[in-house]
Amino acid sequence: MESCITIREQTRLYVGPVKELVESVVPKCRVVVITDANIDRLYPDLVRRYEHIIIGGGEANKSLVTVATIYDRLMKMGADRSTFILGIGGGIVTDISGFVAATYMRGLDFGFISTTLLGQVDASIGGKNGVNVADYKNMVGTIVHPRFVISDVEMLRTLSERELRAGMAEVVKSAIIGDAELFDYIERWAADTLYHSSEQMRNIVLRAVRVKAAIVEADERERGLRRLLNLGHTIGHAIEKSTRAVNHGEAVAMGLVAIAKAAAKEGMLPERDAERIASVVRALGLSIEPPVPVTAIMRAVRYDKKRQDNILRVVIPEAIGRCVVREMSLECFENMFK
């Protein structure tokens, strides 16, 4: 059984069995798959039924060098405007393949099969794609929506526990932004196994997808509401910048706990809610303490700010299920963590 949510009349987000959905959703024209070696090894039937390009994994490969290599391969294959790009993988593959599809020959149609929890609830949704440049994450990119995203929770069974936990951090983020019932649901499961049943995971993915889809529907270009999706990311990105020891989801988890604690200290969030956020993150097996000192985190926040004006837009949780964006100076932000 599948569920389908449509965003901006452009993307159909399917949560259901990949085998059946591929048959009915992927167009019958020429399709070129972009994926990484892990997905090719684990799901060869899916990848090798089409022409395919395998890229290296990891943030270091989310680069213009990889993009240029893919353009080159597409040209040698004779791919043209009628070719359909199918990105199969986690957020790194979908970010790169979306960018390639949006720019090659001024844009090809594309779709995703999203294979990580973080990808299914966040990275594959909303049309943002792009690559890192030098030290800056997602510095170059476009906002172009895929035709469809297929998310099959059965594919998450081959995901490492670490990646599953990292994805749960983004689910917790979505719950704090806009779904208090989802937060209760995760609280109930968190102390149990991470992936209890297909039904449980389907419920989690669907609810988190709905939160993001509703926000993107209302604000595609991040002029207002979409900024809420950055909850926990000011601190999270700074942690990612300061150490390679944690991945994106792990850094976001620490960022969520830090901003909740700071908001409670300032009287903006009930103390009890901040405690619940820290407990759920801990129960999911995620660390709540950054592995770098606050001074290093603030240095990274400041370094990032050098590129923009001096005003930070910080997402503050006011309750579980409700957040606001507050504009504040860097100094004000730093004071929240003292």
Ligand X SMILES: NC(=O)c1ccc[n+]([C@@H]2O[C@H](COP(=O)([O-])OP(=O)(O)OC[C@H]3O[C@@H](n4cnc5c(N)ncnc54)[C@H](O)[C@@H]3O)[C@@H](O)[C@H]2O)c1
Q: Contact at 8 Å (CB) between 90 and 63?
A: no
| CA distance linking residue 136 with residue 128, whole number of Å | 16
Residues 6+ apart with CB under 8 A from 284: 165, 168, 169, 172, 186, 190, 194, 253
Touching ligand X, residues 271-290 (CB under 6 A) = none
* Shortest Å distance, C-beta 248 to ligand X: 5
145 assigned to active site: no
Per CB under 6 A, 250 contacts ligand X: no
Per CB under 6 A, 220 contacts ligand X: no
Could you tell me how many residues make up the chain? Answer: 338
Cα–Cα–Cα angle for 246, 248, 254, nearest 5°?
A: 70
| CA distance linking residue 173 with residue 179, whole number of Å | 10
Tokens coding 65: 């060098």
DSSP letters of 80-137?
Answer: -TT-EEEEEESHHHHHHHHHHHHHGGG---EEEEE-SHHIIIIITSSSEEEEEETTEE
196 assigned to active site: no
Of 62, 173, 207, 226, which residue is the catalytic one?
A: 226
CA atoms within 13 A on the CB side of 308: 12
226 assigned to active site: yes
Of the residues 22, 31, 55, 62, which one makes contact with ligand X according to CB under 6 A: 62
- Site mask for ligand X (CB under 6 A), range 22-61, x = bound: --------------x-xx--x--------------x-x--
Per CB under 6 A, 255 contacts ligand X: no
Of 173, 212, 241, 261, which residue is the catalytic one?
A: 212
* Shortest Å distance, C-beta 64 to ligand X: 14
Per CB under 6 A, 317 contacts ligand X: no
| CA distance linking residue 270 with residue 315, whole number of Å | 16
Per CB under 6 A, 213 contacts ligand X: no
248 assigned to active site: yes
Q: What are phi and psi of 256, to 5 degrees?
A: -65, -45
- Site mask for ligand X (CB under 6 A), range 101-140, x = bound: --------------xx-xx--xx--x-xx-------xx--
162 assigned to active site: no
222 assigned to active site: yes
Of the residues 26, 248, 261, 264, which one makes contact with ligand X according to CB under 6 A: 248
The catalytic residue positions are 106, 128, 170, 212, 222, 226, 230, 233, 237, 248
The residue ranges that bind ligand X (CB under 6 A) are 36, 38-39, 42, 57, 59, 62, 89-93, 95, 115-116, 118-119, 122-123, 126, 128-129, 137-138, 155, 158-159, 163, 166, 248
